[in-house]
Amino acid sequence: MALVAADVGFRYDAGGPWVLEAVSLLVEPGTVVGLRGPSGAGKTTLTRILTGLRMPGRGRVTVDGVAVATRRGRMDGRVGLVHQSPRTATDPRRRLERIITEPIRHGAGRADRAGRAGPADRTDRVTAASLARRAGLTEDLLDRLPGQVSEGQLQRACLARSLAAAPDYLICDEPTAMLDAAATATIAHLLRGLAAAGTGVLVVSHDRLLLGAFADRVLELEELERTGRPAAEPGTA
C-alpha cells in the first residue's frame, strides 16, 4: 500500500532534454514526506505526473499497486493535489463555499467511494464551515469570490477542498508559499493530523527548514535523479 514512482522520466518534446530523469520515490499511508529542490528542477511537473495530469515519458506511477494511467479522468479521489497557484486552480465565478464542497458534490470523497454516505447529505453550510476552519479560514469568507480574498486565503480554501475529497494520498505543491508564519504552522499541524489519520502526504517545497520541522523524511530531488532511489535526511514530526 503506497504511492510509488519508479524510474520516472519526463520531457516536453520528443528528442528534447529530460526535465526529470529516473525519479523514484515512495509515499506510504500515515507518513509526511518532504520533497525539496530548487526552482526549475521539475518539482511541479513531478506532482502532475503523480496525480495523472501528465503521463511520464518513461517509468510508471502506481497507487496501491494500480497504475495511475488507468485512473486518468476518473473522479475517484484517491490522490489529491493542492496546486502551487490557487488562482489557476479555482473558478473565479464560484464562491469559496462551492469551491470547498465541489469534491463532495462530485462524489469524490472516501466515504462516497465506500458507500457510507451520499454527497447530497453533506453539501451544506455546516460542512463547508467545518472544512474551512480546519484549513484556518473563517466562515465569513465562504460567501466571497476568489477575487475578493487574498492568495493565502484562497490557498487555504483549496486545501479545504482537498480535505472534502478525503484522499488516500495528498500532494501539496508549495502549500505555504503565500502564508504567514501563523498560517504556515496551522497548515503544518493539519497535514500532520491527516497523516496521523492514515493519509499519505507529500509536501513539495524549496524550504528545507519548513520540511525538516514536520516531515518524517525529506527527499532531495537532485539526489533522487542521480541515484534512482530515495535518499532521505531525517526530519522531526
Q: Where are the domains of the chain?
A: 3-234
Average pLDDT, the chain: 84
Assign 30 a pLDDT band (cuts: 50, 70, 90).
Answer: very high
pLDDT of 147: 96
**Torsion angles phi and psi, residue 87, rounded to 5:** -65, -40
Residues 6+ apart with CB under 8 A from 88: none
DSSP-H helix ranges across 25-76: 43-50
Supply the CATH classification number for the domain 3-234: 3.40.50.300
- Cβ distance 96 to 144 under 8 Å? yes
pTM: 0.83
Q: Is 32 helix (H, G, I), strand (E, B) or coil?
A: strand
What whole-number distance in Å separates Cα of residue 62 and Cα of residue 215?
22
Q: Tens digits of per-residue pLDDT, 66-82?
A: 888 655 544 357 899 99
